[in-house]
Amino acid sequence: MSAYVLEQNEINLLTQATDAMLRLNQKYSGSYPLNAGTVKLIGRYTNDMHNIYRALYITNIKAVNGRYGDDVRTLPKYSPVMPWDVERLNPEQMKKAAQTFSSYMYQCSEDPIYKGPVWNAFYDIYKLLCMMIVERQ
């Protein structure tokens, strides 16, 4: 299995999707199925897309470094992205984000990241995104 670091535009899309899922969970008082660990770990970044971006990139980089024994540390400079309007989620944008998240989760399925708390938290976000796509069809 090979692993790679996703492109910046892909991480930007995942940042927007993660932020939207966290805001939906917060708006509806936790009625969406995010486990407590996810909300505690990533939920502290709600309304802070820069930190979500960093967490996504750092997790991806650590997994690739674990796979190849590299020590890549460079993060692309964060360029702010617009948050999604959670009242009017775009189905096509959500589907693209789910596809990208699927690839991301696969790329991060390496030691020392795989099945760790951060990996599990992003997987939880991914599952919620998929559930939202099905719910809105």
Tens digit of pLDDT at every position of the chain (137 positions): 678 899 999 999 999 999 998 888 777 766 666 666 666 667 665 668 888 998 999 899 989 888 888 777 777 888 889 999 988 999 999 999 999 999 999 999 988 888 888 888 899 899 999 988 988 77
Give me the count of residues in the chain.
Answer: 137
How do the domains of the chain map onto residue ranges?
A: 8-135
CA atoms within 13 A on the CB side of 35: 11
CA distances from 32 to 35, 43, 64, 80 (A): 9, 13, 31, 26
- Whole-number CA gyration radius for the chain: 14
